Every structure is written in structure tokens, then in C-alpha cells.
Structure 1
């Protein structure tokens, strides 16, 4: 199977699922379900790459497991947040801008189906590797995956603990990774995509594996990640978040300026 046929198959499946999730999200007035669906569909795309790609058994298995576990964990984490919290401020702002237009939100959900197909290509590239034995590249991929998914899960847990404490309402989380990066969850999600670059070293489609880290970085910095999140944080937390921006690295974890990590904003 060619990567383009695979991407088309993933897109068609994702478009159907996103249409159903859109209808549900409009009914319950919570667009946050789009993120839940995106993560879940990424897990499915990873499994499909393991089944349909033409690579050796080892890279197909590693890709399917790595992508499915990463996507499923993120899907369940987001589902728990969406079910127990108010609609994310980013989507409330969109709702106001679009005056709640179901048609515009339908296009938005369908755009996410295209994004799923795009990010499925690195999975397919990795699963097309011809390397049948666990070499240094495969071991490096496993180590990167463990660091990335473990780091993202820990950052999510630190943020969840902060948000669960009523005393922290209106305050920015500065515990753990959040003292060194304003978006450690985004950083580790980006790092995760290098797993498939390493797994795809022996693949005829290796160049496609770079879509993961390159496009993810562009999305995080220029489209739907950091800009949206920080605009919403400034609206809801004002000067507290503006000070956080001045003191803490925006993306790559780095020691904070002005001793910001010791101010005790989280716990």
C-alpha cells in the first residue's frame, strides 16, 4: 500500500468519526470533544499502520504499540477533562467569534480529520521500515518514546493536581515541569514524534516521518497550540500569567528567570 492510499483511508475514517463527534459536541455545547476524538483517531491510525504497512514485523509492531498507547492515554486524559470541566476557553472564544455557527464548527471538525491523516503518515513511514532486528535506532526510538510519553503524562498529572485545588483558582501552575516550561505537555508531545523518525531510518518513506516533529512544531507555535492557549490564559489570569511569560521558557524546559519556580503559586 502506498502512503497516500493509507492517508486517504485514514482521512475517510476520520471524517466519518468527526462528523458524529461534531453532532454530539453541538448537542452538549462542548467543542472540547474534538481533541478527544483527534487523540483517539491517532491511536487507531497507529494500529492501522501496523496492519497495513509493508515493513518488517518489528517496526510495524513498535509503531502500532507506540502510537496506540500514546494516543489512547491522551484520549482518556482529555475525555476526563472534557467530561468534568467547563468548555475550554479557546473554544468558548471561537464560539463567540463564530456566533455558535454549527456549520463553521463542522468545517473545524473536518479540518481535524485532515490533520489526523497528515500525522498518520509518520506512523506509516515508521511501519514501512525493512529493519527486522532491534538495532541502535530502534532502541533510541524506544528511549525517546518512554521519555516523551512519561514526561507528558507527568506534566498532565501536575497540572491536574493544580487545577483540582480550589485555592489555585486564577493562579498559574508552577509546579514540576511547569516551573521550567510554560507548555511542557506540548514539548513532550512534540518530542514523541521523533520516535517515528528513528524507527523509520530504514524505511523507503523516511522523509515522511519528519512531518511529525516539523508540522507539530508549526501547529504548536503558529496555529492551535501556544498562541490560543496563552491568549486564553492572559484573559483569565491577567498579570499572574503575564509574569509567568516573563519568567518561564515558552516551550523547551529551562531554568526559570528571577527564581519564579520558588514563588509557590501551585501548592
Structure 2
């Protein structure tokens, strides 16, 4: 791998998240953090695909997929932020940090830059794969990425429509894909990053590093910055309605809703 290219990407990601910190502190809107992060990962991935020494057709496919992901997610979060919606996860962290919120948020965003680097590294490894293109693994990777992009877009659209209804003030979303997972958008986001190890798969030992991308994304979404703080917020704001949803619907992986018998047991 090109050490200079990796250093260039790492520096760009760090600077971008420092810029996100400045914008959040100036505007008070935390949504711009994830907006900038999404576009930054996209630009880093495109740069990795374009600048790496590899087959042009594979590089082009990688760059297009990353661009679609970044534009879709970044524009969605930006539209939500412009509408005045604040991310409860950041709001709670900033409140808990109190007077030290400024420097602690800066460090937190640099950790996000490190996470972004791990994701971009998986994209670079996929683009740098020297095997003939397209292989069966490449076609499977593209299909997984497209299904993930469509699933996440549909999930976000369904949630946005629900939030515009009067029920949204006191109820929880359980329509469409949200009947089968409490966080289908998170599931499809994780699934998207599963596509890169498939495309990076080769005889090169370094290709195994691409597995860190879906592993990291799963850990973050399920155990750290995704589901835990969001569900804590939902329990505080929706109470027993959300607790009942937790008993019926899987947290992450989609599955049929559980039913409750007259004796109160789930099946």
C-alpha cells in the first residue's frame, strides 16, 4: 500500500473533523457533524479509489458506489439538520460534559476521524485488488452494496414520513421496515460496509484488513454510539410504548415481530 496516500487521507479526515468541530461550536447544531463525516468518508474513499495504483474498471466501480453512499447519507442528514432537528446523542453528551464539552467534543471527533480512516482503508483495499474484474465476488459485493443503499434510503424515508404525522409526538415508528427491526437504517448501514471485504478478497494478506470496516461499524452501531444512546433517549421520551416495542421487535437484525400470548409470554 502507498504510505503517502494513506498519510494524505488520514490528514484530510482529521482536518475535516476539526472543521466539523468548529461548525458545531459556532452553530450549536450537532447534525452538521455527521453530515460532514459522511461527505468526508465519501471524499476520502473516492480519493483512495482514484489515486491507488489499480485496474481502472475496478477503481471506477468503487468510486461510484462510495459516491452514491456519501451523497445519499450526507444529504439526508443535512436536510434533517436544516429542518432544525437536533441529534439527541450529541445533545446528551454535550450536556454531560458540561464546561469541558469543547475540548472533549474535539477529541471525540478525532476518534471519529480514526474510525473513518479504517472505513476508507477498506475501500482502498477493494480498489487496489489486482485480481481480474469483475469476478463473482465483485458482483456479489455490488449487489450487497446496492441492497444496503436501497434499504437504508427506504428506512430513512419511512421514518421521515412517520415523524410528520401527529402520532410521532407520543408513539414509536413501527411501519414498513421498522416492523422487523428497531433500527433498520443502522442494519443496512452495517450491511453496506460488508460489501468491501467481498470486493477486496484476494490472495494478498492485506486484504483481510478490510474486515475491520464491518466489524468496527457493527461495534459502533450496536454497542457504542448507535443503538444504546438512541434507545436510552427513546425510553425516556416514549416510556412503556418503546419498552413494549423492544419486546416485540429485534434491535438490529431484521426478523418477524414477536407475538404475545394471553399468558404474557413471547413466541
Question: Aligned with 2:40: secondary structure?
Answer: helix
Give the match for residue 189 of structure 2: 189
Provide the rounded CA distance (Å) in 1 between the counterparts of 2:245 and 2:6: 40
Aligned length: 258
Stretches of 4+ moved more than 4 A in 1? none
CA distance in 1, matches of 2:19, 2:200: 33
Match of 1:80 in 2: 79
Aligned to 1:18: 17
Unmatched segments (≥5 aa) in structure 2: 261-267
> 2:259 is paired with a residue of what secondary structure?
helix
Which residue number in structure 2 is paired with residue 210 of structure 1? 211
1:107 CA drift (Å): 1.4
Name the residue aligned to 2:54. Answer: 55
Between 184-193 and 132-141, report the one with greater CA deviation: 132-141
Please, which moves more after superposition, 214-223 or 196-205? 196-205
Q: How far does residue 203 in structure 1 lie from its aligned partner after superposition?
A: 6.5
Query: RMSD of the alignment, in Å?
Result: 1.5
Instruction: Report how far residue 258 of structure 1 moved.
Output: 1.9
- Structure 1 CA distance, aligned partners of 2:18 and 2:237? 31
In the alignment, the residues of structure 2 paired with residue 88 and residue 142 of structure 1 have an alpha-carbon distance, to the nearest angstrom, of 31
Structure 1 position 239, deviation (Å):
0.9
1:251 Cα deviation after fit: 0.7
Return the alpha-carbon distance in structure 2 between the equivalents of residues 70 and 141 of structure 1: 14
Answer whether contact 1:7 1:120 (CA < 8 A) is retained. no
- Aligned residue for 1:55, secondary structure, equals coil
Question: What's the counterpart of residue 159 of structure 1?
Answer: 159
Could you tell me which residue of structure 1 aligns to residue 103 of structure 2?
A: 103
Alignment of 1:211-226 (within 5 A): 211-226=212-227
Per-residue CA deviation, residues 86-125 of structure 1 (Å, 9 max, x unaligned), is 3211111112101152111111222211111111110011
In structure 2, C-alpha distance between the alignment counterparts of 1:209 and 1:119, rounded to whole Å: 8
Residue 98 of structure 2 aligns to a residue whose secondary structure is coil
Task: Assess if the C-alpha contact under 8 Å between 1:125 and 1:203 holds in 2.
Answer: no
Question: Displacement of 1:131 after TM fit?
Answer: 2.5
Equivalent position of 1:139 in the other structure:
139
Contact 1:8/1:117 (8 A) holds in 2: no
Following TM superposition, by how much is the alpha carbon of 1:176 offset from its aligned partner in structure 2, in angstroms? 0.6
Following TM superposition, by how much is the alpha carbon of 1:22 offset from its aligned partner in structure 2, in angstroms?
Answer: 1.2
Distance 1:162 1:14 in 2: 34
1:257 alignment partner, SS class: coil
Alpha-carbon deviation of 1:5? 4.1
CA contact (8 A) 1:42 1:68 kept: no
In 2, Cα distance between equivalents of 1:229 and 1:196:
27
Structure 2: how far apart are the matches of 1:170 and 1:181?
19
Gaps of 5+ in 1: 260-267
- Deviation track 1:225-266 (CA, whole Å, cap 9, x = no partner) reads 11111111111111111111111001111000127xxxxxxx
Tell me what 1:265 maps to.
Answer: none
Q: 1:121 corresponds to which residue?
A: 121
Deviations 1:121-141 (A, max 9, x none): 100110111133322111111
